[in-house]
Structure 1
Amino acid sequence: MDTASLFDLNGKVAIITGGAKGIGKGCSQMLAAHGASVVIADFDLDAAEETAELIRQSGGKAKAMACNVLEDGDLTGLVDATLTEFGQINILVNNVGGGGAGRENPATLTVEQFAHTFQLNVFSNWRLAQLCAPHMETAGYGSIVNMSSMSSINKSPAISAYASSKAAINHMTANLAFDYGPAGIRVNAVGPGAVRTDALASVLTPEIESTMLEHTPIKRLGEPEDIAGAVLYFASPISKWVSGQVLFVNGGGVQTLD
């Protein structure tokens, strides 16, 4: 067995949406460290450039792209620019996402806000997979990694839009695995628990953290590299017979805001 090749991404090209900060930044750095050329697509171009420069300083290959995943022209432009820069697409990490976790009071949440969460978390993922899949098939190697969440299976108040959108990601992942499998493309998802990012920091209090850790066997919150490691597994040849799966990365427990 050639174990050295199992996590080798040399010659592979990866697109990471929301790749400039937090979990996305961790994924960008992780895949680049294992040899992939990475395209960091983010709404914040300056932050994407900073992450790309860090990767280049470490000897990796990276390109920053401004991208609003709610704009179809940005998605098609992202794919075209990746092909122009690197000639192929092998890996797609649909990391971008958002919602009012813990702040989605159904008495005040509007239909437009609910729909926006699905457009951001689900529709953009589906569309980018549709755009990338033909190029993955041509390249002879394809792995799509969607970003789910523990909220997709947890039950908590004031999170109905975000949680249901992430549950949709789980089922969409399983079904797309059937659609794209014959083309040699694997489709999986990673479901983070509570990870120390700017987004979590905006709602985290010492009391909430203490409650989270009461139900977490590994007594700490997650770090971006914990999630990036799971993404690396799905992106790499070691998982070549794994598709349609959701891997929850949560310290063995459940972390909720209530």
Structure 2
Amino acid sequence: MILDRFRVTDRVAVVTGAGRGIGAATAVALAEAGADVVLSARTETQLHEVAARVAAAGRKARIVAADLSDLDAAASLAEAAREAFGRLDIVVNNVGGTMPRAFLDTSTRHLEDAFHFNVATGHALTRAAAPIMLEGRGGSVVNISSTMGRLAGRGFVAYGTAKAALAHYTRLAAADLAPKVRVNAISVGSVATSALEIVTGDDELRGRMERATPLRRIGDPEDIAAAVLYLASPAGGYVTGKLLEVDGGLQAPNLDLGLPDL
């Protein structure tokens, strides 16, 4: 059956930023599809909650509480997967994010920090994971990018630049790691996570954002988790070096931060 192609039975995944939001939903989706999961984020209590959901799906979880802006900590997750489960098949680079800032308030340090957190962390883990994947039958890497990596909106010069870099990193890494390791990314639109609480908690702001989105709603973390599962599973086995846009149909930013002309 076609649904069998979406199974990842007995495979092993590492998911970063797995304590809540997109990362948590992705970890649970992979477990429901048959994978054991290494969960990593800063907050251990959140990871235990996600691990309980993984266990409820009949799979095992290994918790690694860490600050993944530390590149050595990010890289160490690959070996943690091998130690816990003997293999590594799927990496989901979900850690990232940068607060919007006006152009003149965005220092070169802010730009460097955005690149470090959104790109370098993913490279550290992917570089450590690739040899382990290559020991087996290969694997799949899914990077979580953003629609702001392709759309132009005021206040996003650091975040948007970093996410655009992550998108092209995906294409380059896919070329380097083919044919055994596939590398893809998801261009994520507005999703109801803690990062968007300032919008989802305000009816006026939420309504404005929904009306500016062609599908007239804000995304759910499960919308992204389903896309990750497609790319990570045999269903996406003929896809590499691609950016999958899961953004409600956006062709322009759906929230104006109100930054004035200079």
TM-score over 0.5 for the pair: yes
1:48 — aligned with what? 47
Q: 1:73 to 1:217 in 2, by over 3 A?
A: closer
Are 1:210 and 2:210 counterparts? no
1:86 — aligned with what? 85
Contact 1:67 1:78 in 2 (8 A): no
* Residues 1-258 of structure 1 aligned to structure 2 (within 5 Å): 2-101=1-100, 104-182=101-179, 184-204=180-200, 205-254=202-251, 255-258=253-256
Contact 2:186 2:246 in 1 (8 A): yes
Deviations 1:174-218 (A, max 9, x none): 111100013x11000011110001101135543332232223232
Whole-angstrom CA distance in 2 between matches of 1:89 and 1:19? 17
Whole-angstrom CA distance in 2 between matches of 1:76 and 1:196? 28
Quote the offset at 1:4 in angstroms.
Answer: 4.3
Q: Which amino acid aligns with 1:73?
A: D
Q: Which amino acid aligns with 1:24?
A: G
Contact 2:22 2:224 in 1 (8 A): yes
Quote the offset at 1:222 in angstroms.
Answer: 0.2
Contact 2:71 2:120 in 1 (8 A): no
Deviations 1:14-49 (A, max 9, x none): 000001100101100100100010111111122111
Q: Which amino acid aligns with 1:84?
A: E
Whole-angstrom CA distance in 1 between matches of 2:27 and 2:242? 21
Normalising by structure 1, we get a TM-score of 0.94
Q: After TM superposition, which residue ranges in structure 1, 4 or more long, deviate above 3 angstroms?
A: none
- Aligned to 1:174, the other structure's residue is in SS state helix
Whole-angstrom CA distance in 2 between matches of 1:3 and 1:107? 52
Q: Which amino acid aligns with 2:185?
A: A
Q: Which amino acid aligns with 2:254?
A: T
- Aligned to 2:154, the other structure's residue is in SS state coil
Quote the offset at 1:146 in angstroms.
Answer: 0.3
Whole-angstrom CA distance in 2 between matches of 1:81 and 1:60? 17
Q: Which amino acid aligns with 1:180?
A: L
- Aligned to 1:6, the other structure's residue is in SS state helix
- Aligned to 1:168, the other structure's residue is in SS state helix
Give 5+ residue unaligned stretches, structure 2: 257-262
Whole-angstrom CA distance in 2 between matches of 1:48 and 1:160? 31
Contact 2:170 2:184 in 1 (8 A): yes
- Aligned to 1:155, the other structure's residue is in SS state coil
Whole-angstrom CA distance in 2 between matches of 1:219 and 1:59? 36
Quote the offset at 1:61 in angstroms.
Answer: 1.6
2:260 — aligned with what? none
- Aligned to 1:202, the other structure's residue is in SS state helix
- Aligned to 2:213, the other structure's residue is in SS state coil
Whole-angstrom CA distance in 1 between matches of 2:155 and 2:216? 26
Q: 1:256 to 1:217 in 2, by over 3 A?
A: closer
Q: Number of residue pairs matched?
A: 254
Deviations 1:92-125 (A, max 9, x none): 0000101013xx1122222222211110000111
Moved more, 194-203 or 224-233: 194-203
Give 5+ residue unaligned stretches, structure 1: none
Contact 1:156 1:256 in 2 (8 A): no
